[in-house]
Amino acid sequence: MKTTTKHAGGGNNIRTMKALVFQGHHGLALVDKPKPTISEATDAIVRITTTSICGTDLHILNGDVPAITPGRILGHEGVGIVEEAGQGVLGFHKGDKVLISLITSCGRCGFCKRGMYSHCCSGGWLLGNKIDGTQAEYVRIPFADTGLHLLPPRADDEAAVMLSCTLPTGLECGTLSGHVKPGDIVAIVGAGPVGLAALLTAQLYSPAEIVMVDLDDNRLKVARSFGATKTVNSSDGRAAERVMSLTQNAGVDVAIEAVGLPATFDICQAIVAPGGRIANAGVHGKPVDLHLERLWASNITLTTRLVDAGTTPMLLKMVQSGRLDAKKLVSHRFDLSEMVKAYDTFAHAAKHHALKVVIKNGILRR
């Protein structure tokens, strides 16, 4: 990863802020950027108190999301305090503590009416993609009334920030798209935060077995402590064979892909049982081979999905009641000034025993 750090030269100039900027293939820098301002009446400006890094940010660095151009402030996960609300924002006021959804939605278009907020005609996944994101001191949130969730003042930032993207993705793109049912045998390929979120939420539907597959023994150990019944390290290239033997060659009812590589999609295709579901959550930058020569007669269902984050209010209730321990996904904490180090830790998770890394913006506030 190429990195540079540029320091502010302007003293206490409140018109600038620190932000983590994409600089093209594997390039990152913490730089001074203009503080965002309200551009539409429905916008809010949020001062970020906690943000995090997603596997999707690693795909962006790897060039897998080519629409993202150098200069973009990354990040789509965040908790903060409303600094300013536009005149058209009805539900939020200066000083409110808020959770930022990764998905921007107008609430009025045909896709929003169907609950497919990720495909909103004037929204979707904008933050840290088509507009500047949350890995900064401040962020502009369009359609703030739908893109923000009110948090109690004492809500735990670290638990809440897991609901911007990670937990809704595991639930919606994995567990719900895969239609996990009581008694199912489920395999989750990828034990990163999204795979672990699928593991936590799949258990709400009482599957008989959950097999986790990853290359990282630490993440597999964590998966067992989170309720995985079996784990498979795929570094020898024989994961599919092992999952088949663990299931007496029956295969799995649900195979959740939570990595985003041809090799891991192949594992899912090789282990899905007749009548089973492959739920793809991973962001893919390269084509995969779809093995219809094997699967055409197997009555399988394949789903793809960009998370809609429509389940976030429900997940928030579960976190607030103590039914879902979101905070246990967090392994490392950094200050915003250490953003580049935070990326390095998350990108080399096995070396650092990392799950989710959270970044706090306290010290730099001016």
Ligand X SMILES: NC(=O)c1ccc[n+]([C@@H]2O[C@H](COP(=O)([O-])OP(=O)(O)OC[C@H]3O[C@@H](n4cnc5c(N)ncnc54)[C@H](O)[C@@H]3O)[C@@H](O)[C@H]2O)c1
Which chain residues interact with Zn ion by CB under 5 A?
A: 54, 56, 105-106, 109, 112, 120, 165
SS3 204: helix
- Taking CB within 5 to 8 Å according to partner kind, which of ligand X, Zn ion, none is near residue 216? ligand X
**CB-nearer residue toward ligand X: 85 or 211:** 211
Q: Does 308 bind ligand X (CB under 6 A)?
A: no
Q: What are phi and psi of 353, to 5 degrees?
A: 50, 45
225's CB contacts (< 8 A; 6+ apart) are none
Output 119 or 305, the one with its CB closest to ligand X. Answer: 305
Least distance from ligand X to the Cβ atom of residue 264, Å: 5
Q: What DSSP letter does each residue of 147-161 carry, written as one string? A: HEEE--TT--HHHHH
If one asks whether residue 42 binds ligand X (CB under 6 A), the answer comes out as no
Cα dihedral sign, 346-352-355-359: negative
Q: Could you tell which of Zn ion, ligand X, none binds residue 59, using a CB distance below 5 to 8 A set by kind?
A: ligand X
Phi, psi (rounded to 5 degrees) for 131: -130, 170
In whole angstroms, how close is the CB of 235 to ligand X at the nearest point?
8
β-partners of residue 254 are 186, 277
Residue closer to ligand X, measured from CB, 194 or 210: 194
Looking up tokens 């007669």 gives: 297
Contacts for 179 with CB less than 8 Å, ≥ 6 apart = 254, 277, 301
- Rounded-to-integer distance, Cα 88 and Cα 82, Å: 14
CB of 86 to ligand X, least distance (A): 27
Residues in contact with ligand X, counted by CB under 6 A, come to a total of 34
The reply on whether position 219 binds ligand X by CB under 6 A is: yes
Report what 141 binds from Zn ion, ligand X, none; CB cut-off 5-8 Å by kind. Answer: none
Instruction: Please choose, out of 4-12, 109-117, 145-153, 278-286, the segment that lies near ligand X by the rule CB under 6 A.
Output: 278-286
Identify which of residues 110 and 313 has a Cβ nearer to Zn ion in the complex. Answer: 110
The yes or no reply on residue 142 touching ligand X (CB under 6 A) is: no
Inter-axis angle of helices 262-271 and 239-246, nearest 10: 30
CB nearer to ligand X: give 92 or 343: 343
**In the complex, what is the shortest distance from the CB of residue 281 to ligand X, in angstroms, rounded to a whole number?**
5
Residue 257 CB, shortest distance to ligand X, in Å, is 8
From Zn ion, ligand X, none, which one binds at residue 311 (CB under 5 to 8 Å depending on kind)?
none
Among residue numbers 236 through 255, which ones bind ligand X (CB under 6 A)? none
Cβ distance to ligand X smaller for residue 96 or 308: 308
CA terminus-to-terminus distance, the chain? 29
Q: Does 260 bind ligand X (CB under 6 A)?
A: yes
In angstroms, what is the C-alpha Rg of the chain?
20
Q: Which is nearer to ligand X, 59 or 181 (CB)?
A: 59
* Integer angstrom CA distances of residue 313 from 46, 90, 148, 171, 229: 19, 18, 10, 13, 29
Element (H, E) at 28: strand 27-34
Q: Collapse the DSSP code of 214 into the 3-class scheme (helix H, G, I; strand E, B; otherwise coil) and give the result.
A: strand
d(CA 30, CA 165): 23
Minimum distance, C-beta of residue 356 to ligand X, in the bound complex (Å): 8
With CB under 6 A as the contact rule, the residue among 45, 306, 316, 329 that binds ligand X is 306
Residues 155-194 that bind ligand X (CB under 6 A): 165, 169, 173, 189-194
Give me the helices (H) in 184-272, please: 193-202, 217-225, 239-246, 262-271
Residues binding ligand X (CB under 6 A): 54-56, 58-59, 165, 169, 173, 189-195, 213-216, 219, 234, 258-261, 263-264, 281-283, 305-307, 349
